[in-house]
Amino acid sequence: MAPTTLRPIRPEDRLSLVEHLDELRKRLILCVVVFVGCFGLCLWQGDLILDVVNRPLERTAFKQDKKESKDPFERTAAFQAQLRKSALASAANFDSLASTAEDAETRRNYEELATQYRVLARAVPPREARRPVTLGVGEPFTATVRVAAYAALLIALPILLFQAYAFVLPAFSREERNVALPLMTMVPFLFIAGVVFAYFMILPNAIDFLQNFNDDNFDILLQAKDYYRFAIMLMIVMGVCFQVPVGILAFTRLGIISVSQLRRSRRYTIIGIAVVAMLLPGQDPVTMLSLMAPLYVLFEGSILLASLIERRAAKREAAEPDDPDDLEA
């Protein structure tokens, strides 16, 4: 009977088709279990995850310093801010009058008016960032589940990638494994770095530009499913784009392309990066430039790293004796 636990498979092992399918089934079951566990955790902490995803909207708070805005939401926010300011000023004035009043009844009236104005100031809603709106009956539930699923995929990704690598590893030759192993360990870290970069750098700037562009002519409401789709797709795509160093290092280590060829193709690379940024979520110039800049930096950094590895490999080959007789000597 086949074992129920996963075992490491050596490159020299020869498995039958049934054994390959059995191993694939076990690894798929393990991946599903890990994803379901992460999904349950993310669904349990749904409020926290939604709060984290909504945080980039803080920069799109209604701008109270925007003069003569035609946006009714910004005008309402400006009115509330001015009302709160006026109520606090009136309360301070009545407190001052109460402190100088000689008549006890007059002093009491001033104090009551000051108290009422302070209550009014506390009742004015504070300045808050926009929140996504829901239009369908079940949209709050579906949006929460969708965000929890994407967050679970992000958390479980390192384990999923390891299982995929462990399944295909026996098909590699020894030289290919020496190239693939360090590169595969970079994949989850680069993915997380791309997601973090998109969350802190690209997403807030893109939302701020898009939500305040020509807003005098629109009543801007941000629907939850559209915002979460845009934010999550942007972070996932940026995490995938951060795998550029892995691909470049793999091609150079396997001899498919050389470092000199990469250096000569810089102008074509810039055009390719611009096309990729144009096809990604958010076709505005701010988002495109925010996407292009890190991709080109990663490309140049990959060339530098590949050149360094190539130089070290050449030094090692030069230091190793070609003739086995030299070793005996």
**Comparing 54 with 282, which gets the higher pLDDT?**
54
**Comparing 263 with 1, which gets the higher pLDDT?**
263
pLDDT for the residue numbered 200: 87
- Whether 288 has a pLDDT exceeding 70, the answer reads yes
DSSP codes, 179-210? HHHHHHHHHHHHHHHHHHHIIIIIHHHHHHHH
User: Could you report the per-residue pLDDT of 131-149, keeping only the tens digit for each?
Assistant: 788 888 888 898 899 889 8
pLDDT for the residue numbered 1: 39
- Worst-scoring range by mean pLDDT, 7-11, 44-48, 276-280, 307-311? 7-11
E-assigned strands of the chain?
none
In sequence order, the β-bridge partners of residue 223 are: 133
Read off the pLDDT band of 3 (50, 70, 90): very low
Read off the pLDDT band of 17 (50, 70, 90): low
Average model confidence (pLDDT) for the chain? 77
List the structure tokens of 189.
Answer: 């870290």
DSSP H helices, the chain, are 17-44, 46-54, 72-100, 104-123, 139-168, 174-197, 203-212, 224-241, 244-253, 259-264, 266-279, 285-319, 324-328
b/e burial code for range 181-197 (CB count within 10 A of at least 16 → b): eebbeebbebbbbbbeb
pLDDT for the residue numbered 177: 67
- Whether 97 has a pLDDT exceeding 80, the answer reads yes
DSSP codes, 22-72? HHHHHHHHHHHHHHHHHHHHHHHTHHHHHHHHHGGGGGGS--TT-TT---H
- Worst-scoring range by mean pLDDT, 37-46, 147-156, 280-289? 280-289
- Percent pLDDT > 70 in the chain is 78
User: Could you report the per-residue pLDDT of 64-89, keeping only the tens digit for each?
Assistant: 445 556 666 667 777 777 888 888 88
Mean pLDDT over 176-205 rounds to 79
The domain locations on the chain are 72-123, 136-317
Read off the pLDDT band of 39 (50, 70, 90): very high
